[in-house]
Structure 1
Amino acid sequence: MAFQVRPPWLLLLHFIAVIFILPAMASLPAPPSPPATVFDDNYVVAYGGDGYHMINQGTEIRLTMDRSSGAGFRSKLAYGSGFFHMRIKVPAGYTAGVVTAYYVASEPERDVQDEVDFEFLGDTDGNPTTLQTNVFVNGHGDREQRLRLWFDPAADFHDYAILWNPSHLVMFVDGTPVRVLKNLTSRGPEYEFPAKPMRARGSVWDGSDWATDGGRSKVDWGRAPFTAGYQGFGVAACAVATAGDTAARCGSPDLWWNGDGYKSLTAAQQAAYESVRRNLTYDYCTDKSKRNPAPSECSFT
């Protein structure tokens, strides 16, 4: 077996995470654990349900992409607020062009959907997977941030979560905040925040035209298939039937994820978040070639 030599910067990043980030995680308030569930309780196959591209093992599913197809799933219900999480293990090895995703999104409708994305961008041999996050509101995106994680997401399952309530949107990796979008809509129309009912979704798909080196490194089908694992199908969220439910019922302070303990980051969370932000490899807020000046929300991190 050949041993992979990790780049020195990756070892340094891991050391920083152990010294500064992980101790902060120990003091984070843990949300209530949802009851143990299997995939069929809350989710259905969206595509690739041929028994090969998606394998349902009850408490774990496997999504596989080859030249013929990828695979995806979605929650049975749409939600207006909540705490969404999934344990994911991404494909290993040469995965250039391969995108493994976990996200919440409203129904596609004339490009005005709301969406919050975890996207794991594969890479060539010897280069680690990049985590990209993005937020769309009314179809307006271009809010990408990219992060080199402090662990190998292909080596084991890790927890990825989205807290969405009337105060803010927070994305977590193993309990550490990696992205925050505050709800500042009361300040004016230039501040956008997701408000449409959204479903939780996951997929593995071909992003050759953009995902790795700006599309220069593409999927090598000779190394297919590419398989990702998903675990943890409990849902702690406010199910909605209509868009009007989102603000009226799903904003209730009686829902635990809307309570006082979840309206802002704790001091430990803020410190961990600031440590993570120093390791971004791309941030739309500082990309003057895309939008100058930066969007209004960039002043409130």
Structure 2
Amino acid sequence: MASGASSSPPLSVLSLAAVVVLLLAARGGARPPHSLRGVRPLAFDEGYAQIFGSSNLALLRDGRRVHLALDESTGAGFASQDLFLHGFFSAAIKLPADYAAGVVVAFYLSNGDVYEKTHDELDFEFLGNVRGREWRVQTNVYGNGSTHACREERYDLPFDPTDDFHHYSILWTSQRIIFYVDETPIREVVRTAAMGAAFPSKPMSLYATIWDGSTWANASASH
């Protein structure tokens, strides 16, 4: 991105509210909770820590809403303080109104900092939007560092994700992974014998980030 005066406002601001983690039995059912009412989301300081972005992360509503900003110098991100083995992970996310191709927003689970060559990862990624096209979200599944099984799939969204908050959720058990947009399942990965170690099976941290991926995201958005 072009350089600008240090006093310039952030280029994009991502809002996350009600990040919820429900730990489920490894053999739990494939359905998410019918309602998250009554489930108290942790305040930011109770369960998360900033990992980059300095002043580009702002807390609102007693730490129960997070704004992540992208400016000319950096994006921002945070991670859970704990590792999780299975569970239901959900965030209410509103994308920046000026969101454009090149801005990458991700809500994901990963253990890449612990297992560099055999990491597991489950992603929701927004790769920006080309004006005039439908919005799309990409899901990624990596198990044990595999680059062959599952991988990326993309889905058209039936709404503009910059207009309001929508829930993006991942249900991860020992036997299956389901991605949800609001309460609609958009992708299911069922563990099979043929997958071997390529099914995510090690504890992971929960992350949310916004960053400048201009070259990569613009190329991805064009397909």
Say whether the fold is shared (TM-score over 0.5): yes
Are residue 54 (structure 1) and residue 60 (structure 2) matched? Answer: no
- Determine which of 192, 205, 225 is the counterpart of 2:198: 192
- Structure with the bigger percentage of strand: 2
Are residue 169 (structure 1) and residue 172 (structure 2) matched? Answer: no
Stretches of structure 2 lacking an aligned partner (at least 5 in a row): 1-30
Asked if the contact 2:101/2:221 (under 8 Å) is kept, the reply is no
Aligned residue for 2:86, secondary structure, equals: strand
TM-score, normalization: structure 2?
0.76
Letter matched to residue 30 of structure 1: H
- Pair member with larger Rg: 1
Which residue number in structure 2 is paired with residue 122 of structure 1?
Answer: 128
Are residue 64 (structure 1) and residue 69 (structure 2) matched? Answer: yes
- Structure with the bigger percentage of helix: 1
- Determine which of 125, 149, 152 is the counterpart of 2:157: 149
**2-side partners of 1:215 and 1:153: how far apart?**
16
Letter matched to residue 98 of structure 1: V
- The CA deviation at 1:55 is 0.6
**2-side partners of 1:145 and 1:86: how far apart?**
20
Asked if the contact 1:99/1:206 (under 8 Å) is kept, the reply is yes
**2-side partners of 1:90 and 1:120: how far apart?**
9
Asked if the contact 1:113/1:138 (under 8 Å) is kept, the reply is yes
- Determine which of 85, 93, 96 is the counterpart of 2:90: 85
TM-score, normalization: structure 1?
0.57
Which residue number in structure 2 is paired with residue 252 of structure 1?
Answer: none
**2-side partners of 1:112 and 1:69: how far apart?**
28
Which residue number in structure 1 is paired with residue 11 of structure 2?
Answer: none
- Determine which of 41, 44, 53 is the counterpart of 2:46: 41
Which residue number in structure 1 is paired with residue 34 of structure 2?
Answer: 30
Asked if the contact 1:119/1:133 (under 8 Å) is kept, the reply is yes
Letter matched to residue 111 of structure 1: K
Letter matched to residue 56 of structure 1: L
- The CA deviation at 1:169 is 0.7
Tell me how many residue pairs correspond in the alignment: 187
Asked if the contact 1:72/1:203 (under 8 Å) is kept, the reply is yes
Stretches of structure 1 lacking an aligned partner (at least 5 in a row): 1-26, 217-281, 283-301
Deviation string 1:248-281 (CA, Å, 9 cap, x unpaired) is xxxxxxxxxxxxxxxxxxxxxxxxxxxxxxxxxx
Asked if the contact 1:94/1:125 (under 8 Å) is kept, the reply is no
- The CA deviation at 1:39 is 1.4
Letter matched to residue 215 of structure 2: D
Identity of aligned residues (%): 39
Asked if the contact 2:107/2:125 (under 8 Å) is kept, the reply is yes
- The CA deviation at 1:140 is 1.8
- The CA deviation at 1:29 is 5.7
Aligned residue for 2:45, secondary structure, equals: helix
Q: 1:215 to 1:162 in 2, by over 3 A?
A: closer
Asked if the contact 2:130/2:221 (under 8 Å) is kept, the reply is no
- Determine which of 201, 225, 235 is the counterpart of 2:207: 201
Give the aligned CA root-mean-square deviation in angstroms.
2.3
Asked if the contact 1:135/1:141 (under 8 Å) is kept, the reply is no
Deviation string 1:72-109 (CA, Å, 9 cap, x unpaired) is 00001001111111110112235111111100111433
Letter matched to residue 118 of structure 2: V
- The CA deviation at 1:128 is 3.9
Letter matched to residue 48 of structure 2: Y
- The CA deviation at 1:37 is 2.9
Letter matched to residue 140 of structure 1: S
**2-side partners of 1:215 and 1:88: how far apart?**
20
Letter matched to residue 89 of structure 1: K
